[in-house]
Amino acid sequence: MIVLGIDGGCMEMLAPWIEERELPGFSELLENGVYAPLLSTVPPVTAPAWKSLYSGKNPGQLGLYWWLQLNKRTGAVVHAGYLAGRSKDFWDYMGENDLEVLIMGTPLTYPPRPVKGILISGGPFTQDVGYTYPHELESELKEHFNFRVHPPHWPDVSLRGESGVRVIEELTENHLRTFDTLFYERTPSVGFLVLYHMVALGHFYFNGDETLRVWQRVDRYVRKWLEAGETVMVVSDHGLRRIEKEADLLTLCIQKGWTTVKSRGWRRYIKELVESLSQVPRASMVLPRLTTAVDIANSRLVPFTHGVVFVLDAAELIDELCSVLEEELADCVEKVCKGRELYSGPYVDDAPDLIVMPEKKVRLISSGAGGIVRSVRDVKADNAQTGFLIAAGEYFKKGVCEAFSIVDVAPTILHLMGCAVPSELDGKVLRDIFRPDSVTYMREVKISSETTERNVAYSVNVDEEKVIERLRDLGYLE
């Protein structure tokens, strides 16, 4: 079985192309398979979304809510790569059932843990060395495929503009060709490839011709796999939506006196944050109290991009912020949710206090520069809640299903492979996507009571400045 993950994939982009027969492979996938909207995490951000998809757990069971996590008690900050080792992923359970896997391009898997098969890490925290399990595979990938995790010289060379599109196109083709070759050479039970860099095209071009070119590369492989009789599932971690303006929560908080800054702008804050990272042991990747642009010790709240807000003062400030958002940003904010009401699990106390949900054509940023509300410049789309699941093969029915949660993907794959589903997973097996006469539909879902928590922090030796620049170049940070 092949599972293809596309960062930021959404039907709003795909539907016009499919209708115009620009993507015959995806057209065949939809005509002969099942489609279901896939609801992402809140907020819909790559880091928690992919980890929830892999593990079948909501962010409250993972303690992973955004790219960075603030500890309100100590003022320490950790990045998402450090937190990702707290839970097993679906391929770990498969290995325990003696099923081999090929896992490639997956964010938050660096450095790679041992698996039964192959793991090639991906995402912004992965470095250009030490990214494979087994370790010796790295030299083979470089020799036979000229493989690179990231585009050459990125982020020093931006992915924006025509040259950036060509770079992503070439990298995507390289990753697809490498995965395809390894899949047929190693014949794993499941091959899982995530195309992470494609989200940059969605952010900057949405469904423009630049984006279509790269999707057509992907489409050729989807068609190839279907013609070979493979079972194919395509999933996305979140969707995308067109935007027209942006609201800067950091600027708002500074003007209201809720957030104190020592230097100008969120860009400078991120840069100084990165510099402070280099002063602590690389094995821990934990920041002590920050002495950066946002003075956490003297701030009442700290807002991040995507509407993530940590309140450091009395609970009354939550109501005050909600009132201000309702009065002053009513046309930018759809609603405000309390973190504890969105998540469940042992790490719910670490959740952001508030998640501000933007209106449809608005994105929420935290740059601390310029006005509170302004027109967007070079970004055409921002993350949206609804991604997709499309699957075709002998087990899947034809048609459209109701929306499912992203945490349902892992237990569904485990059930497909004949593995027990751990009882503590939040997700459920998506039986509605199977043919009623298939063995996967008729087979009873096996439940295992085995604990899946690892309590293992990744030891991540990364170039943090490059990581932040990568996130910015992909459109995640201002």
Q: What mean pLDDT is predicted for residues 284-291?
A: 31
pLDDT of residue 232: 98
For the cut 50, the answer to whether the pLDDT of residue 95 exceeds it is yes
Largest Cα–Cα distance of the chain, in whole Å?
A: 64
Q: Which residue has the tokens 């603030």?
A: 70
| The CATH number, out of the four listed (1.10.150, 1.10.357, 1.10.10, 3.30.1360), of the domain defined by the range 245-375 | 3.30.1360
Task: Determine the pLDDT at residue 286.
Answer: 32
Question: d(Cα 60, Cα 265) in Å, to the nearest integer?
Answer: 30
Paired sense of beta strands 308-311 and 354-358, if any:
antiparallel
Residue 360 is given by DSSP the state T
Residue 266 pLDDT > 60: no
Angstrom CA distances, 306 to 149, 196, 290, stand at 26, 19, 21
Paired tokens of 322: 């909600």
137-170 confidence digits (pLDDT tens): 999 999 999 999 998 877 555 777 888 899 999 9
Whose tokens are 């950091």? That residue is 250
| DSSP secondary structure code for residue 433 in this structure | G
Place of tokens 């924006």: 160
The more confidently predicted of residues 463 and 1 is 1
Task: Using DSSP, state whether 63 is helix, strand or coil.
Answer: coil
CB 408 within 8 A of CB 430: yes
> Which amino acid makes up residue 56?
G
Whole-number Å distance between alpha carbons of 224 and 364: 40
Residue 101 CA to residue 86 CA, distance in Å, equals 20
Domain spans in the chain, listed from the N-terminal domain onward: 2-72+84-241+381-473, 245-375
The whole-number average pLDDT for the span 178-200 is 97
The 10 Å Cβ neighbour count of residue 456 is 12
Q: Does domain 2-72+84-241+381-473 have CATH number 3.40.720.10?
A: yes
Confidence at 15, pLDDT banded by 50, 70, 90: very high
Q: pLDDT tens across 341-365, in order?
A: 999 999 999 999 999 999 999 999 9
DSSP 8-state secondary structure symbol assigned to residue 111: S
Q: What is the pLDDT of residue 242?
A: 97
Give pLDDT, residue 452. Answer: 52
Q: Taking a C-beta distance cutoff of 8 angstroms, is the pair 449, 423 a contact?
A: yes
* Predicted local confidence at residue 367, as pLDDT: 85
Residues 6+ apart with CB under 8 A from 445: 411, 415, 421, 429, 431
Is the Cβ–Cβ distance between 359 and 384 less than 8 Å? no
Give the model's pLDDT for residue 155: 59
- What is the residue-wise DSSP string for 404-428? EEGGGHHHHHHHHTTPPEETT-S--
How does pLDDT run across 359-417, given as a tens digit for each residue?
999 999 998 888 999 999 889 999 999 999 999 999 999 999 999 999 999 999 999 99
Are 246 and 52 in contact by the 8 Å Cβ rule? The answer is no
- Asked, as a colleague might, if the bond just before 43 is cis with ω within 30 of 0, I would say yes
CB 345 within 8 A of CB 321: no
Locate 309 and state its tokens: 């807000």
Nearest to 357 by CA among 377, 384, 324, 379: 384
